[in-house]
């Protein structure tokens, strides 16, 4: 293998691996659906970028919009870094098979780092930034300021990309944890305790970008080079572990939480198994660990959002009020698909099995909504009642809908795959189910409109009353779901075995 052909061959292998991924085997309808969702996401970001100048003028009335934006620029990229930490992974080239061959490990590491730059996380903010800078810099200031601002934002994203790449490829776990703790402590002190100082530094950095100050570009660029060099060194040292050639060991024994669940009468065994499913699988645990961010993130978002009617945030409430269960129960019976042969071969009471699952995710949602409501009481008091009413609606009506329709979703999914950008198990029918769940609140909004109260109070009353009815009748619809699943159990088992 000639050395000058190695990059070309590696690119070819990487492309074949991407092209042969499972999501390319989906039907044309699912592919169109995925593209449609992507365009919707880009459209929403572009609309947010176009409306951002007016929002900033409302929040910072005495400051030009681009200066106000620059004052929160570091907050934006701090949020970007947190997002990358949870969902961005370096490209996993199947490199173990190359290691016995006369291929330079340094070239393999360089190729992996190069592939890492072709990531959606390096461009996803630009649909927001470009419309905003078009309105605040290109015409009012200059084209030079427009392009320099975009370049500066790209470099800040590149720093985040390089940091995450280093963190997820460096072999020393203790070193990485220590660096993470120091970063969180520094960010918390700077952004939380001294926000005015932090915002001033952020604004000065943004102004330096549009003024063309070379030092403003050289420091991020130097950070990118530094962390990329460390990442390359770390990859060379830890190829086997990082590439996944080692065998992960299952946890020995049970954790304290699992032992606690096991002692609970009636439902304890089911809850213990449910908790093990969540914590011992990559996809499930990765999704669960992201949800506590909503406890702080949603109140912060509503605090800075325009103080208008809660109806404009109604779909956001549907997605977050039920906590992790809203996402997890979309595949209510697919999570156990890998070992459902064992469940089906035992004398399992399917009604009790579903009842335990419903209680588990309702309590999980309750543990998230209570601190969120407390924070909303300080950040956005007018949203407390709508959020509380939506919690009852989602854990009642929406959970019932997801359970009953989930019986028809007989796709087997792999919980050991990553949580983000994982389209395994998706289908057009499942997408329409979620749309129906989200748009069902339109009818409640119409009823609330005719009640003789304020919109927030009326909507909270209607959602809470509807949700409470379904919660009180949960034994009936759970029994109906269990009977339906009993009739389709063997059909679903045959579908589970296809993969």
Q: How many CA atoms lie within 13 A of 492 on its CB side?
A: 27
**pTM score:** 0.63
Instruction: Give the helix ranges, DSSP H, for 188-332.
Output: 195-211, 214-237, 239-242, 256-262, 268-279, 282-290, 292-304, 314-321, 324-328
- What is the structure's pLDDT at 234? 83
- What is the structure's pLDDT at 430? 76
Judge whether 224 and 242 are in contact, CB under 8 Å: no
- What is the structure's pLDDT at 261? 87
Q: How much of the chain exceeds pLDDT 90, in percent?
A: 27
pLDDT-wise least confident of 86-90, 256-260, 358-362: 86-90
pLDDT-wise least confident of 190-194, 323-327, 335-339, 412-416: 190-194
Question: Rounded CA gap, 270 and 276, in Å?
Answer: 10
Q: What is the pLDDT of residues 15-71, one digit of tens each?
A: 776 666 655 555 555 556 667 767 877 888 888 888 888 888 888 888 889 999 999
pLDDT band at residue 244, thresholds of 50, 70 and 90? very low
Which residue ranges make up each domain of the chain? 3-242, 281-496
Can you count the helices (H) and strands (E) in the chain? 25, 0
Displacement of CA 474 from its chain's centroid (Å): 29
Task: Give me Rg for the CA atoms of the chain.
Answer: 25
pLDDT band at residue 140, thresholds of 50, 70 and 90? confident
- What is the structure's pLDDT at 171? 77
Within a 10 A sphere around the Cβ of 292, how many other Cβ atoms? 14
pLDDT at 249 over 50: no
Residues 6+ apart with CB under 8 A from 48: 128
Q: What is the pLDDT of residues 273-286, one digit of tens each?
A: 889 888 888 788 87
Residues 6+ apart with CB under 8 A from 299: 372, 375, 376, 378, 379, 380
Q: What is the pLDDT of residues 148-168, one digit of tens each?
A: 999 999 999 999 999 988 888
Q: What is the pLDDT of residues 450-494, one digit of tens each?
A: 888 888 889 899 999 999 999 999 999 999 999 998 888 777 777
- What is the structure's pLDDT at 185? 67
pLDDT at 248 over 60: no
What number is the average pLDDT over the span 318-344? 82
């Amino acid at each position: 293998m000639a050395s000058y052909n190695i990059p070309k061959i590696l690119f070819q292998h990487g492309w074949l691996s991407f092209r042969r991924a499972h999501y390319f085997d989906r039907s044309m309808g699912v592919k169109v659906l995925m593209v449609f969702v992507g365009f919707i996401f880009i459209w929403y970001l572009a609309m947010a970028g176009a409306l951002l100048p007016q929002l900033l003028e409302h929040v910072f009335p005495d400051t030009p919009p681009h200066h106000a934006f620059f004052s929160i620029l570091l907050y934006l990229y701090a949020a970007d870094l947190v997002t990358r930490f949870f969902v961005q992974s370096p490209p996993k080239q199947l490199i173990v098979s190359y290691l016995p061959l006369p291929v330079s490990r340094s070239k393999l590491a360089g190729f992996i780092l190069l592939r890492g730059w072709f990531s959606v996380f390096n461009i996803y903010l630009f649909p927001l930034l470009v419309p905003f800078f078009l309105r605040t810099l290109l015409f009012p200031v200059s084209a030079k300021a427009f392009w320099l601002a975009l370049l500066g934002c790209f470099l800040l994203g590149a720093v985040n990309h390089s940091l995450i790449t280093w963190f997820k490829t460096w072999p020393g776990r203790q070193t990485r944890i220590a660096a993470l703790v120091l970063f969180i402590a520094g960010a918390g002190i700077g952004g939380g305790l001294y926000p005015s100082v932090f915002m001033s530094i952020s604004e000065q950095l943004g102004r330096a970008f549009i003024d063309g100050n070379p030092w403003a570009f050289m420091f991020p660029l130097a950070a990118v080079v530094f962390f990329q060099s460390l990442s390359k060194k770390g990859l060379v040292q830890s190829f086997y572990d990082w590439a996944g050639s080692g065998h992960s060991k299952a946890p020995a024994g049970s954790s304290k939480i699992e032992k606690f669940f096991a002692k609970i009468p009636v439902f304890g065994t089911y809850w213990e198994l449910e908790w093990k499913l969540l914590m011992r699988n990559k996809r499930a645990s990765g999704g669960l660990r992201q949800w506590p961010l909503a406890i702080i993130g949603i109140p912060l978002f509503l605090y800075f959002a325009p103080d208008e009617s809660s109806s404009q945030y109604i779909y956001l409430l549907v997605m977050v009020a039920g906590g992790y269960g809203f996402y997890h129960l979309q595949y209510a019976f697919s999570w156990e698909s890998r070992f459902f042969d064992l469940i089906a071969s035992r004398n399992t009471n399917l009604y009790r099995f579903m009842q335990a699952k419903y209680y588990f995710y309702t309590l999980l949602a309750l543990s998230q909504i209570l601190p969120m409501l407390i924070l909303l009481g300080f950040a956005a008091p007018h949203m407390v009642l709508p959020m509380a009413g939506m919690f009852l609606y989602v854990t009642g009506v929406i959970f019932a809908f997801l359970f009953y329709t989930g019986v028809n979703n007989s796709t087997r999914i792999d919980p050991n795959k990553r949580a983000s950008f994982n389209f395994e198990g998706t289908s057009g029918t499942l997408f329409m189910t979620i749309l129906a769940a989200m748009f069902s609140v339109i009818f409640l909004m119409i009823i609330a409109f005719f009640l003789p109260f304020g919109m927030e109070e009326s909507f909270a009353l209607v959602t809470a009353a509807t949700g409470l009815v379904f919660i009180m009748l949960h034994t009936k619809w759970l029994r109906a779901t269990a009977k339906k699943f009993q009739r389709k159990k063997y059909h679903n088992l045959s579908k589970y075995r296809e993969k």
